[in-house]
Amino acid sequence: MNAARALLEMLHRYKVEYVFGLPGETTLGLYDEWKRFEGVTHVMARDERHAVFMADGYARTSGRPGVCEGPSVGATHMVPGVVEAVKSCIPLIVMTSDIPLGMEKHNMLTGFDQTSLFSPFVKESLTAHRGEEVPFLVRRAFRVATSGCPGPVHLRLPMDVLAQEAGQPLPPAQERFSVCPGTRTIPGRDEAEEAARTLSSCRKGVMVCGQGVLTSRGWDEVERVAGRFGLATGTTINGKGSISELHPLSIGVIGSRGSTEFSNSFIEEADLVFYVGCSTDSVGTDGWKLPKETGMVRFIHLNISEGELGNSFGDGLLLHGDVKSTLQAILEAADDLGLPKKEGLEEVIRQRRLDAEPSVPSGDRLDPRLATEMITGAMPEGSVIVADPGMSAVYPAAFYKLPEAGRFFVTNYAMGALGYGLPAAIGATYAVECDLPVLNFIGDGSFGFTSGELETAARLERNLKVILFNNGGFGWIRATNLFSFGPPHFATDFTRVDYVSLAKSYGLVAFRASSEDELGVALPGLFAHKGPALLELAVSPEDECVPPVPEWGIRSRQEGLECHYWG
């Protein structure tokens, strides 16, 4: 068999069901084999960048590596998605076809040094020089992508190499690397015991869970550790779902995106912070201001990436390992040491939450918090939300209380580039049960980057619900400008767009709501329709209706601005 067929056979052996991509001249040889291969389904996107985001959304939601492909001419378009994946530690196999190696020096159309482009942003960039290398490189790609700290791997496949013979027989798949994590490392026994003793001795301990909990699928262990040591448990916006937000020890999202003064107050008062699968980045620490008095707080940091251990807070116990396995080791150490179970914090959290709960203001325009609560209250149980950065992410992060732990909320606050959510949501539809909808919460700013993928959603007939927050411009930048530099606004406002008509032109069912009553009428039809649909929400920009961003809330109150703040 030729290398193109061998590539497809190896993907099938690694239980790959879907590959997201789009055609180009250098890929036609592979596509010719694909016509006769039924084991792996090709999902066509409209843009190479979006193909990577689709694979990313699929990977986060399914727990398996996402696989995408693009032709040499579109390889440069794939870099934004690859950078997001490497910053978010998402396992991807990013395949690019290419002209014959060396021909770029002859100025062959679409040729350039792909390896130099991708190498800074992937765990490894692999090039096939001969057809017989392709099966070996596929095995290596899956192993590298899912082991240790997960991330993307680039596989460069010249068109002439794909036509060469691959040899027989094909090597077996290393099936453990068909899921993530492919390996689970744990710290030593002494470190697990020290962590257990430290957690047991704290008075106001807080556990902060990042995306690493979800990648490791360690949410059961998070709940057990929280209950065993009496820890108030929050998540970063990317780690939302690490614990059920109805759990009595859950305090919700913390940091600078999607947090509230209630949730951040526990970090401010803590005598110990246990960071679990969290990179302690600027978002999760509110610009490294939480905790405020680092000299008065003890730290434990558990992370699979050795580069992130103690990266922001130098002193403390550093645990290098997989989240799920390491938390299990800590629990076992606590039992062996006979450490007492700590109780009593649940009632404190409950009462403080009641005291902090604000009321929803009334007004002429649809309030985004109210809209979020109405939509999430109406969506079927088990639905997944994929949110673009900005208003569309922080409102569900703060005010939708996930009833069940797991990956039911996805956003890209590692890089935070606009245009992620719609294609990632399409990818996520391939990872959920077929009758469940995936909701893409998206702002009109992000929508301008990616609206062409509405055709993809319609063509594929995915059960996708696009929730479009229309505030007439780049509202997040408008608010950041106001609170950082003051008026006037600059380069943020859009002309009026009829998004409902646009969606209908692509073949979607579409609704519009600018009030609570209109939204109440639209929601039954939105969820009754089993195909793709769009719901446009007319809302105020972020400088008039300030979302849950603590710094903005402080500034709006200090300066007496005519706006209301959620948080």
Query: Domains of the chain, with CATH numbers?
Result: 3-169 (3.40.50.970), 189-354 (3.40.50.1220), 359-565 (3.40.50.970)
Percent of the chain with pLDDT over 90: 77
Q: What are the tens digits of pLDDT across the range 343-391?
A: 888 888 988 888 776 665 555 678 999 999 999 999 999 999 999 998 8
Report the SS3 class of residue 134. helix
pLDDT of residue 560: 62
Which of 146, 126, 129 has the alpha carbon at shortest distance from 137? 126
- Which DSSP string do the residues of 9-27 spell out, in sequence order? HHHHHTT--EEEE---GGG
Please indicate whether residue 269 or residue 294 has the higher confidence score (pLDDT). Answer: 269
Least confident range from 52-66, 370-384, 389-403, 552-566: namely: 552-566
Please indicate whether residue 544 or residue 424 has the higher confidence score (pLDDT). Answer: 424
pLDDT of residue 348: 87
Which of 534, 539, 548, 541 has the alpha carbon at shortest distance from 562? 541
Q: Which residues contact 170 (CB under 8 A, 6 or more apart)?
A: 6, 9, 10, 13, 135
Q: What are the tens digits of pLDDT across the range 98-131?
A: 999 988 888 898 899 999 999 999 999 999 999 9
Q: Other CB atoms closer than 10 Å to residue 45's CB: what's the count? A: 24
Which of 240, 541, 562, 538 has the alpha carbon at shortest distance from 391? 541
3-state secondary structure 191-232: HHHHHHHHHHHCCCEEEEECHHHHHHCCHHHHHHHHHHHCCE
Q: Model's pTM, two decimal places?
A: 0.95
Q: Which residues contact 148 (CB under 8 A, 6 or more apart)?
A: 183, 185, 304, 305
How much of the chain is in helix, strand and coil states, percent to nearest 5? 45, 15, 40
pLDDT class of 312 with cuts at 50, 70, 90: confident
Q: What are the tens digits of pLDDT across the range 413-450?
A: 999 999 999 999 999 999 998 789 999 999 999 999 99
Question: What's the whole-number average pLDDT of the chain?
Answer: 93
pLDDT of residue 377: 96
Q: What are the tens digits of pLDDT across the range 156-169?
A: 999 999 999 998 89
Which of 44, 11, 2 has the alpha carbon at shortest distance from 155? 11
Q: Which residues contact 120 (CB under 8 A, 6 or more apart)?
A: none
Record the tokens describing residue 375, joined without a space. 């939509």
- Which DSSP string do the residues of 32-92 spell out, in sequence order? HHHTT--SSEEEE-SSHHHHHHHHHHHHHHHSS-EEEEE-GGGGGGGHHHHHHHHHHT--E
φ/ψ (deg, to 5) at 308: -90, -15
Number of helices and strands in the chain (H, E): 22, 20
Gyration radius from the chain CA atoms: 24
Q: Examine residue 181 and say whether the peptide bond preceding it is cis (omega within 30 degrees of 0).
A: yes
Average pLDDT over residues 247-252: 96
Residue 136 CA, distance from chain mean position: 30
DSSP state of 380: P
| Alpha carbon distance 109, 87 (integer Å) | 32
Statement: residue 36 has pLDDT above 90: yes
Which strands make up the sheet holding 250-253, listed edge to edge?
250-253, 232-235, 205-209, 272-276, 298-303, 317-320
Decide if 49 contacts 203 (C-beta within 8 A): no
pLDDT class of 293 with cuts at 50, 70, 90: low
Please indicate whether residue 313 or residue 123 has the higher confidence score (pLDDT). Answer: 123
Q: What are the tens digits of pLDDT across the range 181-219?
A: 999 999 999 999 999 999 999 999 999 999 999 999 999
Q: What are the tens digits of pLDDT across the range 386-412?
A: 999 988 999 999 999 999 999 999 999
pLDDT of residue 321: 97
